[in-house]
Amino acid sequence: MKSCIKFISFTLLFLSMFVSKAWAEKVTVITPYLAQPGTQMYVEGFKNEASKKGWDLNIIDTKGDVAEVISRIEDAVNQKVDGIVINVDPSQIAAGLEVAAAANIPVVGMDSGADPLLVTNVTSNGYAMAAETSVYVANRIEGKGNVVMFVFDAFPPVQIRGVIADAVFGNFPDINVMDRITPDVQDGGIADSRAKMEALLAANPEAGSIAAVWAAWDQPAIGAMQAIEAAGRSNEGIVIVGIDANPQARDAISQGGNFEASIAQDFVGIGSATANAIGRAMSGEEIKSKVIYVPTVLITSANVGN
């Protein structure tokens, strides 16, 4: 019996030596939001770059649980990885960042928000994106009319978009923000946004009573478009804009309907830029800027085909 156990444990030990790969830099990516399409594209860009560099990569999804991000950072630190990438508001995981800092393991934010404990944060310029789409709306409706906003203040990168749009619309005396809706995002945000928009349309039956819909990301914009179509009011000229320019949004824009514009973030580019940043940090280079911006493009029917 004893010798049997000994044999098994030695075999396992022997095998496990083969399992752990030959020496490679270990990088762990931790995100609570892997189910989101945007996040998947970051990760895709990151993976491409990481495989070029030959890293031993571990991608962890905590499915919305922020505290678990801290736990997994602790595990990664304990495992003595060479670098950590996070995709969540750094102020909420300060406990984990401190542990990493104490172990001298660099942590880079991938579209997460800036924090002193991060080497740097790679992102799109959310202020600029929101400014571009809200100004587009204001110009299209010639500075007057009722605007519906879809926002999501719980997620900081989206929250700042709302702030900018508030400021832009507030600067036009004849633009009235008639509702500032936070949709339920558990199913992705389309269905609930559509329901909320339908209710709003029902409450404002006259043509022209809603001039535009500004959405802080694409899903609510698509939901609003569906609601407008279902209500048979697509010929009222309601202007819809989103942010992110996901495939569904691009498709809608190319139809030339109410959904007129969105901003394309370069998610894959953010992913690969993040990989470059963590690579530089791991090699000991000091990165001066706490934020690295990756350029964005306004998508309209004019350039959607490209």
Query: Least distance in Å: CB of 147 to another protein?
Result: 20
Q: At 264, phi and psi to the nearest 5? A: -90, 115
Q: At 58, phi and psi to the nearest 5? A: -125, 120
Q: Does 12 bind another protein (CB under 8 A)?
A: yes
E runs forming strands in the chain: 26-31, 56-61, 83-86, 107-110, 121-123, 144-150, 174-181, 212-215, 239-241, 259-264, 291-293, 297-299
Segment lying near another protein (by CB under 8 A), choices 10-18, 128-136, 212-220, 291-299? 10-18
Q: Does 51 bind another protein (CB under 8 A)?
A: no
Q: Does 198 bind another protein (CB under 8 A)?
A: no
Give 114 or 231: the residue with its C-beta nearer to another protein. 114
Give 60 or 128: the residue with its C-beta nearer to another protein. 60
Q: Which of 49, 61, 218, 244: binder of another protein (CB under 8 A)?
A: 61
Query: Least distance in Å: CB of 24 to another protein?
Result: 11
Give 104 or 306: the residue with its C-beta nearer to another protein. 104
Q: Does 16 bind another protein (CB under 8 A)?
A: yes
Amino acid found at 112: S
Q: In what order do the strands lie in the sheet with 291-293?
A: 56-61, 26-31, 83-86, 107-110, 121-123, 291-293
Q: Does 152 bind another protein (CB under 8 A)?
A: yes
Q: Does 71 bind another protein (CB under 8 A)?
A: yes
Residue 232 tokens, joined: 């048979």
Give 1 or 288: the residue with its C-beta nearer to another protein. 1
Q: How many CA atoms lie within 13 Å of 125's alpha carbon, on the beta-carbon side? A: 13
Q: Which of 24, 67, 202, 203: binder of another protein (CB under 8 A)?
A: 67
Q: Does 54 bind another protein (CB under 8 A)?
A: no
Q: In what order do the strands lie in the sheet with 297-299?
A: 174-181, 144-150, 212-215, 239-241, 259-264, 297-299
User: Would you tell me which residues interact with another protein (CB under 8 A)?
Assistant: 9, 12-13, 16, 19, 34, 56, 58-68, 70-72, 74-76, 78-80, 89, 91-95, 98, 152-156, 159, 182
